[in-house]
Structure 1
Amino acid sequence: MSNLVFIENNKAVTDSLTVAEVFGKEHARVMRDVRELGCSEEFRVGNFAESSYVNSQNKEMPKYFMSKKGFTLLAMGYTGREAMKFKEAYIEEFERMESQIKAPRVLTDREQLLASMKITLETSEKVDQIEHKIISLEQKVEEQITLTSGEQRRLQKGIAQKVYEVESEPKVRPRLFRELHREIKDRFGVASYKDVKRKELQSALRYIENWIPRKVS
């Protein structure tokens, strides 16, 4: 399992949304479990942090960030073979992230690739060709970079705004969300809106802005 634990303010944390998804629980239930832990105020302040996210209806909703200790206390109440497997996976991810924070910074795959290619090319006698190849390589790498989490939220917000703009009937909106998501995937040749290339973000936003839903007979 990946993406169970992430770095926030240089600390390894998870959040209540991820816990709910992994353990197959409603997010509201996980939020209630956190509030009803009965731990000391000092422990709560040190290991749980209230935050928020924007849901598919473009509404700001509460969530919790939690540390390894906070997650461990919360997950004590989740039992069963599957729950134990998830808890073990979480603990391993927390330890991996904590080691990553403490370790010296390692070059990303992109940085390693560019550094390796640059060293190889700089040994060539054809200086003009070297510079051209480096520029071409950087452009190819840039073209493959997908949206950041912030850009994903921006795209998701644009989708929600468009659906609410064209449809006032709440029962119809889920169909329009699915339709617009499907058209974005088809338009940009991706498996999910999250895989849209960063260089195509503005095109995707314009497409959403001008989108007209298909009429249902």
Structure 2
Amino acid sequence: MDNLVIMKDKRAVTSSLQVAEVFGKEHKHVLRDIENLKLDQSKIGPMFMTGNEPDSYGRDRKVIYMNRDGFTLLAMGFTGKKAMGFKLQYIEAFNKMEHQIQTGGFQIPHTMADALRLAADQAEKIELMKPKVLFTDSVATSKTTILIGELAKVLRGNGVDIGANRLFEWMRTNGYLISRKGTDWNMPTQKSMDLALFKIKETSISHSDGSVTVSKTTKVTGKGQQYFINKFLAVINRVGDSYDRVNS
């Protein structure tokens, strides 16, 4: 349950995906509950923001981000001892993130994705449009994992023109993700696992009929983030150097 609350557009928010995972609910049911809330109260619109994130197969899916008030409204209907514990964890996470934002502390990254974005911003100020800074071993030893779609956003922040779907395709083409269609499609290849570039996160989902299914999601490790970002930045640097030589 890492990163219960994240910073998005300088606001502390959580996502419908994260809520579904933490409270053991199907994502479609969380989306339904949010839509019902929005129908009942016209003034709660600003509490929710609609976005998209790729699923484990690289396909876009609807995600709703919510601030503290939106989460509070939604979680009112979640009952049970476990649910109460998760609510308290969320309250603590919102408090920490909002304190960082209010005090300017969000300048100090709290997640690996934020750290990489901050590093990208600093590199751009030093050398506009020609990033030279490669990420250090401290990234590789981080225990924080991110989705492949989040890695694509970090790459775009570093000047790499790539989206989530194209990044999934590139990883399949280059042997990092399994390309054959089936239950293991977009799962890490043995090569990737040997390099410790990915981890597979398994989430148990309980259904109303009593059955339990397991959802598998490929996540990029700290070492994997360093590996792929440096790989793409190295290409940009080579292209930039070639351009300089041609025009010098």
Relative to the length of structure 2, the TM-score reads 0.57
Paired AA for residue 25 in structure 2: K
**Post-superposition offset of 1:26:** 0.8
**Correspondence for 2:227 among 200, 204, 208:** 200
1:158 paired with 2:170, answer: yes
DSSP 3-state at the match of 1:174: coil
Alpha-carbon distance change, 197 to 92 in structure 1, aligned in 2, over 3 angstroms: same
**Post-superposition offset of 1:155:** 4.8
Q: CA-to-partner distance for each residue in 1:43-71, whole Å, 9 max, x for gaps?
A: 1x210011111112221110100010000
Task: Please identify, of 5-14 and 147-156, the stretch whose mean Cα deviation from structure 2 is larger.
Answer: 147-156
Give the equivalent residue in structure 1 for 2:191. Answer: 183
CA distance in 2, matches of 1:166, 1:190: 17
Give the equivalent residue in structure 1 for 2:31. Answer: 31
CA distance in 2, matches of 1:15, 1:181: 29
Number of equivalent positions? 169
Give the equivalent residue in structure 1 for 2:42. Answer: 41
Give the equivalent residue in structure 1 for 2:183. Answer: 174
CA contact 2:178–2:185 (8 Å) conserved in 1: no
Larger Cα Rg: Structure 1 or Structure 2?
Answer: 1
CA distance in 1, matches of 2:151, 2:86: 27
CA distance in 1, matches of 2:30, 2:60: 17
DSSP 3-state at the match of 2:29: helix
Give the equivalent residue in structure 1 for 2:115. Answer: none
Consecutive unaligned residues of structure 2, counting only runs of 5 or more, are: 111-132, 155-163, 200-218, 233-248
CA contact 1:56–1:160 (8 Å) conserved in 2: no
**Post-superposition offset of 1:181:** 4.0
Tell me which protein shows more strand as a share of its residues. Answer: 2
CA contact 1:56–1:156 (8 Å) conserved in 2: no
CA distance in 2, matches of 1:42, 1:162: 48
CA distance in 2, matches of 1:204, 1:173: 28
Give the equivalent residue in structure 2 for 1:62. Answer: 62
Paired AA for residue 182 in structure 2: R
Runs of 4+ in structure 1 off by over 2 angstroms are 104-109, 143-167, 175-178, 180-183, 189-193, 196-200, 202-205
Alpha-carbon distance change, 157 to 86 in structure 1, aligned in 2, over 3 angstroms: farther
Paired AA for residue 8 in structure 1: K
Paired AA for residue 184 in structure 1: S
Question: What is the percent sequence identity of the aligned residues?
Answer: 30
Instruction: Show the 5 A alignment for 1:5-16.
Output: 5-16=5-16
Q: CA-to-partner distance for each residue in 1:180-214, whole Å, 9 max, x for gaps?
A: 3443121x234625123445217988xxxxxxxxx
CA distance in 2, matches of 1:5, 1:39: 25
CA distance in 1, matches of 2:25, 2:108: 37
Structure 1 vs Structure 2 CA RMSD:
3.4
Relative to the length of structure 1, the TM-score reads 0.64
Give the equivalent residue in structure 1 for 2:96. Answer: 96
Consecutive unaligned residues of structure 1, counting only runs of 5 or more, are: 110-137, 206-217
**Post-superposition offset of 1:160:** 5.8
CA contact 2:197–2:225 (8 Å) conserved in 1: no
CA distance in 1, matches of 2:225, 2:198: 15
**Correspondence for 1:145 among 136, 139, 149:** 139
CA contact 1:58–1:161 (8 Å) conserved in 2: no
CA contact 2:4–2:93 (8 Å) conserved in 1: yes
